[in-house]
Amino acid sequence: MMRLVDFSYEQYQKALRQSAGAVVIILPKAMSAVPQDVVRQFMEIEPEMLAMETIVPVYFAVEDEELLSIYEQTRVASTSQGSASAAEVLLHTATANGFQMVTSGAQSKAISDWLITSLEGRLTGLGGEDLPTIVIVAHYDSFGVAPWLSHGADSNGSGISGLLELARLFSRLYTYKRTHAGYNLLFFASGGGKFNYQGTKRWLEDNLDHTDSSLLQDNVAFVLCLDTLGRGNSLHLHVSKPPKEGTLQHAFLRELEMVVASQFPEVKFSMVHKKINLAEDMLAWEHERFAIRRLPAFTISHLESHRDGPRNSIMDMRSRVDSKTLTRNTRIIAEALTRVIYNLTEKGAPADLQIFTEQMVREQGGIDVAWGERALETFDQQHKFVVFSLWRPLSAADSAGAAGVCDGPQQFQQEQLESVMDWLTSQPRAAQLVDKDSTFLNTLEYYMSRYLKDVKQHHVKADKRDPEFVFYDQLKQVMNAYRMPKSKELVETTTSDSGSDAENEKKRKKEMPSKPEKRPKTEAKTSKVATKSQGQDSEEEGMFQIGKMRYVRVSCFKGKVLVDIREFYIDKEGDTKPGRKGIALSAEQWNHLKEIIPDIDAAVKKF
């Protein structure tokens, strides 16, 4: 057992080398209070733990009072044994209270016919049938060394939160004819993102290979993938191929650069070019799935490299996502996307124009309304462009009953994102835990249906002959700790061996089988053993008598040192033979055993 604050890769490997029955890693309840250096260290170790094959089961548990009590007792016991001799460890094992940890689960087995579910929804543009389509994608599943503890806050709860917020915003703009843009917007919440983007792969196959007509086939302007948006002061646009000038994807890149430079100067923005490495088992980013099918795509993230630890860690908790940062990054994307869709830069809109204002209107009691449900259109005669103010001033009637409480879809955007993030991180979302009928997917589908049209599910199942992924059950088990009393095999109270030595000797003789005429030979052998117990030379190396035909024997067995305590008996032939294990010692025998510890230790060292 080890706590997270004491965990290290060296300690983990040591436990595996010692053939431990199991490894239990205890996580604190309040992960936000864990020092960042401890979190970073575990994130670095976690991929190594996943890659290492071991027959030793590894468990993760969240601490509570009972578990910490067990940990402290076992820690004290192991510390006291660390500097003890072999015989002292034996004695401690016999006398100390211990714990037996037992799990209730069966042997894990592969799950057949498991479905990975993805969700699709759309906003149809205003115009003809051949309108260009902008695809917005984010995978919803999480990943970590322990699936039931994998909440994926930043990766990719922040990405799916951004997708849902963009769906909410543009659904309002597409509600009104004069703000209904000439672009189709296709939203895709993909499953299996942590397993090489299996949901996206199947979705592309269904739309490009098995369908006569789909929005992905007709005219895709670009695909924007959202991944890890909730931390830091950096944003990176990851591309497999730099966009060419004159294309819509190049225009989006320029709008991102302009919005960041003019409105959010504290943010460091860059484009990161990385070619697709098909030799790797796993793709780096989700946009690579689209790029392989020759669709223009990129991923926006605050991470500069796909290898950064937070993408696949149980340490990626809700506390790691800064709500203000997520709000800011979502707004940057929304501003740039809107400028592209409505061609605002070409119409003369200034770079510092805030399209989605976060103005706060307070009238008669006050109410915060921002990024609201209704879009009010105004037309600027000088610049000839459309500005969207996604808030509405309160009327006197509204203000009279306001009392400073924001109601319904018109609540402050940051609060909206926080609520979505709280919901996403309240449950593990590992792909092997999200069933097609799960509450999580039903809620996600309902949320998307509020703002998008034609919302439907897509499923992918592993091929039976050549599966690309295999999921297993028994990912969560109940472990019971049983307190084990002092070893009954070695020590019992004097009541278990009550009576005087004389009475016990009489009892032993009654139970002893009748002896033939070879009795003298037996006495000679017995005397040899007794002599050795007194420290003299003997043929029986490593054997020590502790009284009443009970001996401690030190020997080498299969390359290991065996310290055996048992009662000997005399067979019908008059030979002394080792008897059963699990004997009881009287207080006198126990004291004798403690006295000969140095002799036992010396015998052990010979091996």
Residue 393 lies in a domain: no
Domain that holds residue 531: 494-606
Residues 292 and 436 in one domain: yes
The span from the CA of 169 to the CA of 162, in Å, is 11
Residues 346 and 451 in one domain: yes
* pLDDT at residue 607 in the model: 65
* pLDDT at residue 85 in the model: 60
Minimum mean pLDDT range among 47-51, 101-105, 382-386: 382-386
Number of domains comprising the chain = 3
Which residue type does 468 have? Answer: E
Residue 394 lies in a domain: no
pLDDT at 121 over 50: yes
pLDDT at 187 over 90: yes
The pLDDT tens digits of the residues spanning 355-377 come to 886 543 333 232 222 333 333 34
Residues 165 and 294 in one domain: yes
Please state, as a whole number, how many other Cβ atoms lie within 10 Å of the Cβ of residue 204.
17
Residues 133 and 22 in one domain: no
Q: How far is CA 294 from CA 199, 210, 217, 239, 245, in A?
A: 18, 17, 11, 13, 18
Residue 174 lies in a domain: yes
More confident residue, 339 or 538: 339
The pLDDT tens digits of the residues spanning 428-484 come to 999 999 999 999 999 999 999 999 999 999 999 999 888 999 999 999 999 888 876
Residues 425 and 529 in one domain: no
Please say which residue of 426, 451, 484 terminates a domain: 484
Residue 287 lies in a domain: yes
Residues 181 and 63 in one domain: no
pLDDT at 201 over 60: yes
Residues 82 and 126 in one domain: no
Q: What is the mean pLDDT of residues 378-404?
A: 40
Residue 382 lies in a domain: no
Is residue 421 within 8 Å of residue 157, measured between CB atoms?
yes
Residues 287 and 195 in one domain: yes
Residues 307 and 161 in one domain: yes
Minimum mean pLDDT range among 214-223, 381-390, 568-577: 381-390
Residue 392 lies in a domain: no
CATH code of 259's domain: 3.40.630.10
The span from the CA of 122 to the CA of 385, in Å, is 26
Residue 372 lies in a domain: no
Residues 40 and 165 in one domain: no
Q: How many residues does the chain have?
A: 607
Tell me the pTM. 0.74
Residues 84 and 195 in one domain: no
Minimum mean pLDDT range among 392-401, 409-418, 562-571: 392-401
pLDDT at 501 over 90: no
Q: What is the mean pLDDT of residues 339-345?
A: 94
Residues 94 and 51 in one domain: yes
239: tokens are 């591309």
Residue 398 lies in a domain: no
